[in-house]
Amino acid sequence: MTSVSYDFSFDYGYDADGALRPLLRLLVSNVAEPSNAVEIDAALDSGAERSLLNGRIGEALGIDVLRGPELSFSTMAGGLLPATLHRVRISHSDLGTFELELAFSTVEIQRNLLGRDFFDLVQIGFREHQLTFFVTPTP
């Protein structure tokens, strides 16, 4: 039997639509200008290869969201969502600080997502029935 231990547990939170989701509150900052920072909630999404934030957050950080390597995300409805890649610093009071190249949408989106690129930096476990998730920074 394999056993996994976690340093922190968090309850699911309500998103803007009133749905309970595994949300993590983070401080996101511009790597080039660390004083440009925004606090956000982002949903943990194991189905997303990359983390995706609303482009307005990038703009608030002083990032030119329209410049940068382009990529598209497939939506559940079968459409494509355009985005660009940018390196940012993400911080959490319990988990620490990480640098991550994530995507900023170039169109409006409803929810910020932390995908498997973020999952590569931490160890995550879910207890869906208890509406709780567990996180340990990866050594």
Range of the domain at 70: 20-137
**pTM summary value:** 0.92
* CA of residue 67 relative to chain centroid, distance: 20
Q: Is residue 25 part of a domain?
A: yes
Q: Is residue 62 part of a domain?
A: yes
pLDDT at residue 139, rounded to an integer: 67
Gyration radius from the chain CA atoms: 15
Cα atoms in the 13 Å half-sphere on the side-chain side of 113: 19
Task: Please name the residue ranges forming H helices in the chain.
Answer: 55-60, 116-119
Contact (CB, 8 A) for 105 and 52: yes
Q: Is residue 41 part of a domain?
A: yes
Q: What is the pLDDT of residues 98-122, one digit of tens each?
A: 999 999 999 999 899 999 999 999 9
Q: What is the pLDDT of residues 52-90, one digit of tens each?
A: 999 999 999 999 999 999 998 887 777 888 999 999 999
Number of domains making up the chain = 1
Q: Is residue 67 part of a domain?
A: yes
CATH number for the domain harbouring residue 84? 2.40.70.10
**Strand ranges across the sheet with 122-127:** 8-11, 132-137, 122-127
Contact (CB, 8 A) for 103 and 45: no
Q: What is the pLDDT of residues 11-28, one digit of tens each?
A: 999 998 899 999 999 999
Q: Is residue 47 part of a domain?
A: yes
Q: Is residue 65 part of a domain?
A: yes
Q: Is residue 83 part of a domain?
A: yes
pLDDT at residue 138, rounded to an integer: 83
